[in-house]
Amino acid sequence: MMTVTSPSLKDGARQRWVIKLGSALLSHETQGLNQPLIASLADVCVRLRGQGIDPILVSSGAIAQGMVRLGWKARPHELHQLQVAAAVGQMGLIRAYQSAFEDYGVETAQVLLTSADLNNRNRYLNARSALRSMLEMGIVPVVNENDTVVTEEIQFGDNDSLGALVGNLVEAVYLVILTDQEGLYEADPRHDSNAQLVREANAGDPQLEQYAGPSGALGRGGMLTKLQAATKAARSGASTIVCSGRNPQVLLGIPRGDVPGTLLKAASGRIAARKLWLAGRMQSLGRVYIDAGACSVLMGSGRSLLPVGVTRVEGGFQRGDLVDCLADEDGRLIARGLANYSAEETAKIAGQSSLKIEEYLGYVDEPELIHRDNMVLV
C-alpha cells in the first residue's frame, strides 16, 4: 500500500470515480459470475457515496457470463456468436448488480455504449448529460459496451478504453481499474518471483509499455490496454489506479491517501471539453501528412493547420469529418481535427498558400484546413 495526497472534497463538491472490472475478475469459465465480489463492491460503492464520491461502474463480463449460460467452453471467434453470448450474459450481469445494490436501497442503471455514440457530438453530449443526471439522482450507472450490436468498426476494443472515455465524459478524478493482478509489475509475477510492483508513474510514460503482457482467455484487454486507458483518462485530468479487485474494500483507503496497486498520475491538467471529445473519438476518416514546418507550428504554438503545410492526403473524408495529422517524415501522429475541406478538395490545395484556395477550388470556405479550435494535439 502506498500513501499519497488524494484530491480533497472542497465546498461540498462531490468527486466522480470510474471503477472498471474485467472479465477475469468477475467471471469463471464454468462457474459464472463472482456474486460475493459484486456484493462486496456494492458495499464499497455505497460507503464511498457517503464520503462524497459518486461511483460509475464499467463492467465487463457479459460475454463470459453468456458463455456459461450457453454451456460454451471456449470464447467463440465469430461475431454473431459473440453477440449472442453478450445478449444472454448481459441479462444476468445487470440482474446481479441490481440485486446487490437493492440491499442498500440504491438504484442502478444499465448504460450500453458503442464508440459510434461517442464519435457523434450530439450523442456524446446526450450520454454525458444522462450519466450526470443519474449521479445527481443518486443512481449508480453500470456501463458496458453494447456487444450485441457492435461491429469491429465501431467497437472500443476493450473496456479499459471505455472506462477512460467514460471518465472523460463525467470528468472523473480517478479511473480505478480492478484486475486479477496487484498492479503493474516490471515483469510477469506469475513467472518471475522477483518481479517488482510499479508503485507510481506518470500516465503516458512510454517506458511503462515494456512491462505490459498479453491479455487473458476471457477478456480482450491486458496490461497494455490499461496503460493506454490511463493516457486517455489523463486528458481530462484523471489519475488511474490499477490494482487487485479481489478485495474491493481496499478502495475505501484511497480518500485518505492509501492507494493500492499502481498509481498512474495525470501529469497535466484538463483540456477543453470540445477538444477532449476530439481526442477521445475512436475513428478518424482520413489522414493528412504534414511537413516539418507545419509540425513545428502545430506543436510549438498551437496554431491552425494551413493547406501549405500538407504534403499528401489519404482517405475519403468530407467537410467536418475527423482526420489524423501525421508527420510526413516518420508517420508520427501529431494532431487530430475536423477538416474544413473534403479529401478531394484538400488534395487540390495541398502545398498551396491559403490565398490560392479560390484559384484551385473556385471558392473559399475557410483559410485553414483545420482550425486550432477544432484540433487537439496528441
User: Each residue of 105-154: pLDDT tens digit?
Assistant: 999 999 999 887 887 777 887 888 899 999 999 999 999 988 777 765 43
Q: pLDDT band for 217, please (50, 70, 90 cuts).
A: very low
3-state secondary structure (DSSP) of residue 126: helix
φ, ψ of residue 289 to 5 degrees: the values are -100, 135
**pLDDT of amino acid 8:** 60
Q: pLDDT band for 292, please (50, 70, 90 cuts).
A: very high
**Nearest CA to 19 among 37, 31, 3, 7?**
37
Q: Supply the CATH classification number for the domain 284-377.
A: 2.30.130.10
Q: Which residue has the higher pLDDT, 310 or 10?
A: 310
**What 8-state DSSP symbol labels residue 185?**
B
DSSP states of 294-317: HHHHHHHH-PPBPGGGEEEEEE--
- CB 326: neighbour CB atoms within 10 A? 20
C-alpha distances in Å from residue 178, one per residue of 242, 305, 311, 346:
6, 41, 44, 45
Dihedral class, residue 91 (left if φ above 0, else alpha if ψ from -120 to 50, else beta): alpha
3-state secondary structure (DSSP) of residue 55: strand
DSSP states of 189-239: TTT-TTPPB--EEETT-GGGGGG-----SS-S--HHHHHHHHHHHHTTT-E
**Rounded Cα distance, 41 and 310, in Å:** 51
3-state secondary structure (DSSP) of residue 27: strand
φ, ψ of residue 263 to 5 degrees: the values are -100, 120
Average pLDDT of 16-40?
86
C-alpha distances in Å from residue 27, one per residue of 161, 218, 246:
20, 8, 12
φ, ψ of residue 175 to 5 degrees: the values are -105, 115
Count of alpha carbons within 13 Å of 187, Cβ hemisphere only? 8
What is the residue-averaged pLDDT of the chain? 87
3-state secondary structure (DSSP) of residue 165: helix
**Rounded Cα distance, 213 and 225, in Å:** 10
**Rounded Cα distance, 23 and 7, in Å:** 29
**Rounded Cα distance, 12 and 350, in Å:** 53
**Rounded Cα distance, 333 and 253, in Å:** 39
**pLDDT of amino acid 221:** 41
Q: Are 25 and 179 in contact (CB under 8 A)?
A: yes
Residue ranges of domains in the chain: 2-275, 284-377
Least confident of 43-57, 235-249, 277-291, 305-319: 277-291
Count of alpha carbons within 13 Å of 82, Cβ hemisphere only? 17
Average pLDDT of 76-91?
89
Strands 108-113 and 140-145: parallel
Q: pLDDT band for 255, please (50, 70, 90 cuts).
A: very high
Strands 310-315 and 27-28: unpaired
Q: Is the pLDDT of residue 29 over 70?
A: no
- CB 135: neighbour CB atoms within 10 A? 18
Q: Which three cell numbers stand for residue 83?
A: 453477440
Q: Supply the CATH classification number for the domain 2-275.
A: 3.40.1160.10
pLDDT > 70 in the chain, percent = 89
